[in-house]
Amino acid sequence: MPSAGGRLIVEADGGSRGNPGVAGYGALVREADGQLLAERAAPLGTASNNVAEYTGLIEGLRAVLDLGREAAQVQVRMDSKLVVEQMSGRWKIKHEDMRRLAGEARELASAIEAAGGQVAYGWVPRDQNAAADALSNRGMDGETVRRDHAASRAQPTFGEVRAAVGEVRAAAGEEQTTAGEEQTTVGEELFSTETDPTLEGSCRLIMVRHGVTDFTRSHKLDGRGGSNPPLNDEGLAQASAAAGAVKRLIDRSGPTTVSVITSSLTRAMQTGGAIADALGLTPEVDHDWDEQAFGDWDGQTMADLVTHSGDELLALRQDPAYARPGGESRNQLTSRVNHALARAVARGGTVVVATHRLPLMVVLSRVLGVDSNRAWSIATAPASLTAYEFWPDGGVQVAFVNDTHHLHDLEDQPSTDPGADH
């Protein structure tokens, strides 16, 4: 019997100019009669074709959930025989990145199936996947697309996400984290103090802003799809210091599962990589933690923008729907960061996220219930730590913000960084 969610078609693709090279994904959702419901595309930084293709699949399945159609019979159509055969269980997955991405896709498919839906995979020739291919090329060009042509449901609460994940895992007889690691109960005899911060709760989220780059010091905008500079020598030292601070914090906090997630931008991957090395872990990349895409303003200095584009700069900061050509709005940024946050919290244990100034502001705005404009008043310096405690009922507490004690021995470290992430 057909499910109450009806029948949907997901078309997905991804590409890399260089393999690995500049990468992007594209995905869309249609009704069975061809009516377009949702479109997704975004840049992925430097990645392989296979990573981009898997990401397109993941975002297509996530769009089904965004639309509130989790009970649908979903037919996935892709021109990647590798992804189709691996997701169908006919080919083995040998590469670690592919196993991780396939696991994320299966978790989304499990959420659909737990609601009474079904997901099936089918290969199509490339010329029959032209719409998704065009979207992936827009992603490779640095453009972010997020359009729903049908009413989508409200953002899930943290409690709803954790409950849904728990139900899916219970139905599958699993007691594991997203990464396949055994869940460990967090100790209850932990206390937070101003001088020795520790965390408690079902999920302890430690967010680390990346260290400085040459763009940071010259106050140039650099968002998703931009120049993507690496950490400079000062930034590398900051990342090392932040890694030591995170390790000490986790060591004091008692037994827990730990995972490290980074954005796909180089400076965050280097910062998160230093943290993961200190913890003896392998970091995972989630591009939804990327900095906002600034489009045609990437590489521009704040001083020049204030002088020549003051009104537009004010609109970018204050109008959540305003986006630069080729960039994304605050609303688009908020949507993807909220999804990334929900996935991180659903892991449980301790989760470390290496990210950027504006994603940090999105989380602070949501947790504190303040307008995003007001969040500009909260300092989050390069290589600073901000931490939260989340509980299964959706409760959340800010443990500390903008902790930079580990940087005091480094020279010329600023305490704040005005403006957007650079």
pLDDT of 201 over the 90 cut: no
pTM score of the predicted model: 0.56
- Write the CB contacts of 149 (distance below 8 Å, at least 6 apart in sequence): 35, 36, 37, 38, 39
Q: What does 33-46 look like in DSSP terms, one character per residue?
A: T--EEEEEEEEEEE
Burial of 182 (0-12, 13-18, 19+ CB in 10 A): exposed
Cβ-count burial 100-135 (b if 16+ within 10 Å, e if not):
bbbebbbbbbbbbbbbebbbebebeeeeebebbbeb
Nearest CA-CA partner of 355 in 422, 421, 268, 297:
268
Instruction: Tokens for 389, please give them.
Output: 């405690």
**Are the CB atoms for 146 and 27 separated by under 8 Å?**
no
pLDDT of 161 over the 50 cut: no
**Are the CB atoms for 271 and 262 separated by under 8 Å?**
yes
- The strand pairing partners of 16, in sequence order, are 23
The per-residue pLDDT for range 295-312, each reduced to its tens digit, is 999 999 988 998 999 899
Residue 37: what residue type? L
Residues designated as active site: 210, 291
Which domains occur in the chain, in start order? Answer: 7-148 (3.30.420.10), 182-407 (3.40.50.1240)
The per-residue pLDDT for range 7-32, each reduced to its tens digit, is 999 999 999 998 888 999 999 999 99
Strand pairing category for 203-209 and 73-78: unpaired
The per-residue pLDDT for range 80-130, each reduced to its tens digit, is 999 999 999 889 888 887 888 999 899 899 889 888 899 999 999 999 999
Q: Please give the Cα distance from 42 to 246 (Å, whole number).
A: 30
